[in-house]
Chain A
C-alpha cells in the first residue's frame, strides 16, 4: 500500500462504499455511518502500518469498521441518540436490510456485549457470514468462532432470563 494521493483516492473509491454500507447496517444512521468511514480511512492513512497485509484489505476493513461502529454504539451518549433516532416503524435506509425493531434490539445488545462477542454478533447476525468467513476476519480458527457463538448464545439467553424476571 503506497501513500500518494492517487493511491489513497483509489483505495477510498474501491473500499469506502462497503465500509459505509456495513457501518450503516450496524448503526442504521447514514450520518453516523459516514463518520465511521472517516474514522476508518483516516486511521488507515495516518497509521498504515496497522495493515500489515497479513490478510486481504477487505477483511481488514471489515474488522476495522466493526470496531469503529461498535465503539460508537458503546459510547453511551451515541447509543441513546441512535436509539432515539430510530424509533420502531420509522423508515430505514433499505440498504441496511434489517428491520428497525431487530436493529434496535441488536444495538441494545451490542452496547453491552463484551469483546470479542460484539464483533462476532455483528458478523453473524448482521453480515450473515459463515463460520469460515468470520474466522478469516477475526484471524482465528473456525472452531474458535464456534466457541464464541456458543458464548454469545449463552450470554443472550442469560440476558433474556434476566429481563423476564
Chain B
C-alpha cells in the first residue's frame, strides 16, 4: 500500500508547483529571488529545473500552438478534435469581432442610432446626488456612471469608451471577461457597478455594441483605439453618446 509520508523532496527544495509559478511570473520578487538562489546551490533542484524545461520544450515541439497542424499518422483522433474545436472557438470569436470591426465605416466617421433598436443610457452619481445623463452631458472627474441598456431581444454586449486623448477603454463586461456578455431582453437594465471617471478632460464617447454573436472584447477595444470610431455591421447595432468631462 501507499506510504502515508510519500514526500521524497528534501526540505527546502523547490516543488514543481513553485517552479511552474516561477516560470509563469506569478511569484513575488522575494519568493522568486529565494527560488533562484536555491537553484544555484542545489544540484537536485537545478537538475529538476532542467528536466522541466526540456519537457516543456519537447511538448511544445509536438504541439506548438493551438493552430491546426498537418495531420501526422501517429496523432490520435482526439488531438485533431482539439485543434478543430479550439479553432472553431477562436475562429467564431474572432470572426464575430471581425464582422463588428472591419465591415463598418461611415463616411463621416460618426455613428448612428437605430430608431427602436437596442440602446444605452446612463445615470450619473456625483456625491450623494444621482441624475439621468444625456448626450453632451457635462460630467466631472470622480463622477460615477451607471449604464442602462434596453433591448427587445437577447444580445451580446460590449461597452467601450474613447476619451479625449484617444484612449479606448472597456467599460463592460468586467476586466476579467474576454468576450461580450449576453443581456436582455430587458428595459433599462443596469450593467454591473458602473465606472468612475478619471481626470482626462474633454469629450469622451461611449459605444455600446449589441451583437447577435459573441465579440472578443480586447479585439474590439484595440480596433476602437486604432480607428477611433465604431459603426454598425451585419449582426450588430451600435449605440453611442458623448459626454464632456470638465473640472
- Chain A contacts to B: CB under 8 angstroms: 1-5, 7-9, 12-18, 20-22, 31, 34-35, 37-38, 41-42, 45-46, 48-49, 51-53, 56-59, 62, 95, 102, 105-106, 109, 124-125, 127-130, 133, 137, 153, 156-157, 159-160
Contact = CB atoms under 8 A, between A and B. Distances in A.
Interface in B84-114: 85-86, 89-90, 93-94, 97
Contacts of B20: 18, 58, 62
Contact of A125 (B6, B89, B219): B6
A46 B89 contact: yes
A4 B1 contact: no
Interface string B139-150: 000000000000
Interface of B: 1-2, 4, 6-9, 15-18, 20-21, 23-24, 26, 51-52, 55-56, 59-60, 63-67, 76, 78-79, 81-82, 85-86, 89-90, 93-94, 97, 176-179, 216-219, 222
A75 to B, nearest CB: 14
Given A53-B176, A129-B15, A17 B56 contact: yes
A7 B6 contact: no
A4 B214 CA distance: 12
Nearest to A51: B176
A154 B76 CA distance: 40
B229 to A, nearest CB: 20
15 contacts: A4-B178, A7-B178, A13-B65, A14-B23, A18-B23, A18-B52, A31-B78, A34-B82, A37-B82, A38-B79, A42-B89, A59-B17, A125-B2, A127-B15, A128-B8
A8 B90 contact: yes
A128 B17 CA distance: 9
